[in-house]
Structure formats: structure tokens, C-alpha cells
Amino acid sequence: MTLTKDEVTTESASATEVFIAPGQVGSIVEVKPRYENFIGGAWVPPTRGRYMANVSPVNGRPFCEVAESTPEDIELALDAAHRAKDAWGETSLTERAAVLNRIADTIEANLEMLAVTETWENGKPVRETLAADIPLAVDHFRYFAGATRSLEGRSTEIDKDTVAYHFHEPLGVVGQIIPFNFPLLMAAWKIAPALAAGNCTVVKPASPTPWSILKLAEVIGDLVPPGVLNIVTGPGGEIGKALASSPRIAKIGFTGETTTGRLIMQYAAQNIIPSTVELGGKSPNVFFPDVMDEDDEFLDKAIEGLVLYAFNKGEVCTCPSRALIHESIYDRFMERCLGRIRRIRQGNPLDPATMIGPQVSTQQIEKIVSYVDIGRQEGAECLIGGRRAHLGGDLEAGYYFEPTVLKGHNDMRVFQEEIFGPVLAVTTFTDEADALAIANDTLYGLGAGVWTRNGNLAYRMGRAIKAGRVWTNCYHLYPAGAAFGGYKISGVGRENHQMMLEHYSQTKNLLVSYSTKPLGFF
Amino acid sequence: MSEPLTEPVTVPRVVASPAALEAISRLVAQRGPVMFFQSGGCCDGSLPMCFDDGEFIVGDHDVLLGTVGGWPFYMDGRQFEVWRHTQLMLDVGEGAPEGFSLPAGANRHFVVTSRVFGPDELAALDEDPRGRRRGTSERSR
């Protein structure tokens, strides 16, 4: 998800003006006072008529209301999805792929509008939403449009007259719970394969970010038949549970924390349905001494690779939040990295020059403050940052935290827990075995990074680190087609790859005999 | 687990602020018995989750850290290995819960703050000041 140099250049050339805040005169984003649920292709008010304020983290102020739904609304969405499932499941691959491509084209045509929407609700810098979140969402729909066309069922000749045919059949209606850190991209990761495989979905966006997906529905809602895509907003404890525990879903997909992940799996067990859960990480980013053999473009890339912990203000499941640096280069390398961190521009995320915006909510910023406090109590040394940033003016009440680096050892809680903020825990290692031991000394196993000019070493480390993805001489790239998911308590299942179509399908086996001879048993 | 526990503990691993105790008693009056489970991981990980008692199935390898307002507070046993040198204080923060937790009142959620145990407390608990006991956590790593 990183900006490539080309994209940065293009971006800064085309968008240097600060975008006007959604809802303000001249903004490219319209804001209605109130949003309803998107059910059965229509905007449906919540059954009990309750709404909740939706706050922008940029200035800490509410800017619209969304439905505060209850389990009755989940039932309405499930009704609509069940009405739609047979027809959608029988829709030809040609047509399903065409629908996904039309969704992609429409998102692309609304790229700036959706990028500004996402930035306003989540706080992530618009340079990221313009160059990563929204273009990747577009590509994801295109990828699954193609993937579903190329997925073939298999047949096996059991013997001369007996053939086993295997067909992919849709599961029917699925439930999908989206996290707040990439509200639109994670929605695309889940919705695209589900729809491509012929399923209808009921989506619950995260409580802090319910709005951007409703803006998405405004532009793509009429591209799918009514009931194929349904969106219900509201509190997780009420409607998240109602959705995940419903006997009317055939699969549940969830991204979030470990306790809710366990609850989701518990509900799935009770209904005997599959679940995909992605539950976070504490990803090591390992820098071997040869990165400093030359002062060249590669070293520059490695330095940026460390600083990527601040990408999306650290609210990334795969945030490279543990930097492991070889002791022989630690001082020189960190000096360069700290120099780069000092130049991070923090501010209004609607400014294309801003590199880090506000955390998504008060909860998140309080948690970050509390972790930095624990780190200090445990004896970690704060190399930079460590405080809430007060930016004054209209941004004073926003949730900004300074990019922070804590030096310590891997037993500290700041090395063991996902802080979900721009806080890097850094330590040193002595040799390859030590690096590997520290890298794997974590409960999690979602992502990792390895930086070296030595291909053999990179391969050995990449294979030995127990994580679902090891970025090698890169980080934070999320192309469609590269499987993403966790080892250990980081979760079960994969996303972002054609194999998802299998995860969203049943396997139908037709075992056919072309022989006329009886078995002879009776 | 439907009755409040009354286990005497000399150095509690989890304590509750007056605001948290008040929120708990209000919740219990409204809904009946509750339980807490300390989360980890992505998004609103690191927050304590409050459920109706029995909603969350406690596993054989989870740890009962103690009680808050008489109600059990659990943690994943593997997570406990890296938290065991710190005391948790259950408190209440502004804003509705972001996950599946019950709220701590209108527009409020439960939070924990942590404090590293002092030397006397660590001795009483037989804990190493650097946190997890070496050798005890290898099974999960």
C-alpha cells in the first residue's frame, strides 16, 4: 500500500490544494444530516428509529448521523439477502464479472470523492487514500472479476466409466464485519470475493467508521441486484453479535481483535459454519547489517521501510511495529531513520502534503497514551515523540499522536502487544539466529519484513519467520493476488487471493457412473 | 460462574476504579451477571471486553486474573505470560465500545490502564520483574 515514487510525483502534481472538508461549501463530498441502512437496494430507516452521531477524528466533531441499528435490522437485511441469493447464485460468471467490473469502474470514477470521504471519517492522509486505499479497492474488484472467470472446477476419472465432477457452488448468504482502519479497502477485500463466488452479503462496518461505506453504496448500490449487498450500521455488541450468531448466514468473515475473533468462532461453531478471522499482529521488521553497505537507493528504501510504521498512523494489522536492527549498524541506521521520522508532516489529513493524520477515535488515542506509559514504566527509552500532538486551531480537538520510537527489549509489553498507533518498538540483535528468535517470540504471526542485500539470507529468514506474509526488501504492499492472513493467534484463513473464491464456495461433487453394470452386492 | 466470586487475594492482579465499579453495578442491575475478558490484537484489541456472564466460553488455558466488583476477569493464558508483571486497573473511558463489548454506560466503554508491580509485589506474586517466566511460555511460541 505504499506510494511508489511515480505515484507520489503524479499525486503531488495533480493535487496540491487542501481538500475542502466534506459537507462544506465547495467540497466534492456531499454530507446528508442522516444516513439509513442500505438493505435490498433501498435506504431503510432503522426499525427502532434510533441514530447515532458520527464523529470526524480530524476535528473531533460530529458531522452526520447514522442508523443505530438493532437485531431487527439485521433480520431485515438477511431477509433481503435470502430473497436475492438464488437469482444471484445462478447469474452467469460473465454477468457477475461484469457487475464487479462496473463496481470497479464506478469507484474509479469517484476516486477523489471516496478518498476524501475516507480521509474525513478515518483520519488517514488523503495522499494515502488517493494513491492506495481507493485504487487498491478498484483493483480488488477487477482482480476477483477476472479470478472468478478463470476458476475452474475439476473432474477426475476415477475409472474408465466413473467420473467425479467438482463444481463450485455459492454458500448463499454470508456475514462480513469490517474493521475501522481501512473501511473501504477491507470492505472491498471481503465483498469482492463473496459476490464473485455468487453469494449475497450482509456487511457491518466498524462502529467508528460507518459512513464511508454508505457513501460507497450511494455510487455502487444500483449496480448490483437488490439484496445482493446490504449494509447495516450500529454497535458491535448488538448487531455484530446478531449477525455473527445468526443461523441464517453460511459463513462469517471478521477482521478485528482476538476476543471478538474467539466469539465469532464460537458463534460459528454453534451454527456449524466456517469463519475467516484476521486478528492483528506485532510484526517484526528485521534489518541486517548489509543494508548499510552502500549509501544508495536501497538504503533509502530500507530507511523508509522502517518509517512505514507510521503508515495510516500505525492503525494497520501488519504495522511493522517491532524494528530489529543488527547491533553493528544500530546507531548509524537509527540516526538516519530518526532524521526521516522528524520530517514526517503531521496535520490536516485533507492536505495532500500531510503524512500522518489523527487516530480514528478517542479510545484509540487513550490506548496509545497508556501504552507509552507502560513502556516508560518498563524502562523503555523514548527516542522521539511519546506525546499527544496538539495542533491548535480547528485541529486542536482531533486525535493526533506524535510519531514515536521506544527502545527496549522484546519482553516489554510494548513489544508484545499491538498498540495500533504510530509507536515503534526498536531493539537490536546479534546474529541471524538471534534475529529469528526475537522475530518469532510473539503470540502473533501476521506480517514481517526482512531487509538485506543477501538473497540467500532473505530467503532463509522469510521461510523461518512464522508469519503469513514476509515482505522481503519491501513493506506495506497489498496487491490483489498475494495471499494475506495469519499464523498463530493472528487468525485463520486468507484474503486477497483467488483461493478466497474457494473459501466463499461449497464444493459439489457429482460422482457419475457411465457403466450399466450393477455392483452385484444385492 | 453465575455467582460473584469471593477469592481473597493479597496482591490483586486486577483492580477497578470507582467509576468502573459503578458502571458494573449498573450493568448488573440492568442485565444480570457479567464477565470480563482482556482482549489483544488488532483494532480495539488491548481493551477489556465485558459480556453477559457465560456469553464468552472461557477455555482451559485462559487465566482468571481476579474479580472486579465480584465478577470474574479473565485473560488468554498465552497473553498472560507477557502481562504478568503488570497490574491492570479497570476504568471507564469516553465513547461507545468499538467491538462486541457491553458499554460502561451511555457513550462509555471499559478500559484498562497498567502499572508495573513494585519489587515487594513481584516477590509476593513470585514474578520476575522482566515479565514472563522463561520456559513457561514456549509451548505457545
Q: Is A474 a catalytic residue?
A: no
Q: Is A317 among the residues known to form the active site?
A: yes
Q: Tell me the ipTM for this assembly.
A: 0.91
pLDDT of residue B3: 56
Interface residue A50 vs chain B (CB under 8 A):
no
Blockwise average pLDDT, block size 10, chain A, 522 residues: 43 71 98 98 98 96 98 98 98 98 98 98 98 98 98 96 98 98 98 98 97 98 98 95 97 95 96 96 98 98 98 97 98 98 98 97 93 96 97 95 98 95 98 98 97 98 98 98 96 96 97 97 96
pLDDT tens for residues B20-54?
Answer: 999 999 999 999 999 999 999 887 778 999 999 99
pLDDT at B130: 63
A472 in reach of chain B (CB within 8 A): no
Please give chain B's pLDDT, 141 residues, in tens. Answer: 455 555 555 899 999 999 999 999 999 999 999 999 999 988 777 899 999 999 999 999 999 999 999 999 999 999 999 999 999 999 999 988 988 999 999 999 999 999 999 999 988 888 776 655 544 443 333
Nearest-CB residue to B97 (from A237, A255, A362)? A237
Question: Kind and range of the H or E element at B74?
Answer: strand B71-76
Cβ burial A377-391 (10 Å sphere, 16+ → b, else e): bbebebbbbbeebee
Its pTM stands at 0.94
- Least CB–CB distance from B46: residue in A417, A440, A441: A417
Please indicate if any CB of chain B lies within 8 Å of the CB of A373: yes
Q: Is the separation of the CB atoms in B33 and A270 below 8 Å? A: no
- Write down the catalytic residue from A278, A315, A402, A495: A278
- Check residue B8 and give its pLDDT: 53
Neighbouring CB atoms inside 10 A of B124's CB total 12
Q: What is the pLDDT of residue A13?
A: 41
Among the partner-chain residues A236, A258, A440, the one whose CB lies closest to the CB of B97 is A236
Q: Which is nearest to A272 in space by CA: A253, A251, A255, A290?
A: A251
Q: Where do runs of H (alpha helix) occur along B1-141?
A: 18-31, 77-83, 119-125
Determine the pLDDT at residue B42: 80
Interface test with B, best of A363, A378, A427 (most B CBs within 10 A): A363
Closest CA to A152 of A471, A502, A458: A502
What region, left, alpha or beta, does residue A200 occupy, with left being phi > 0 and alpha being psi -120 to 50 degrees? beta
Q: Which amino acid is at B75?
A: M
CA A126 – CA A21 distance, rounded (Å): 11
Q: Do B101 and A370 touch (CB under 8 A)?
A: no
E-assigned strands of A256-379? 275-278, 284-287, 322-326
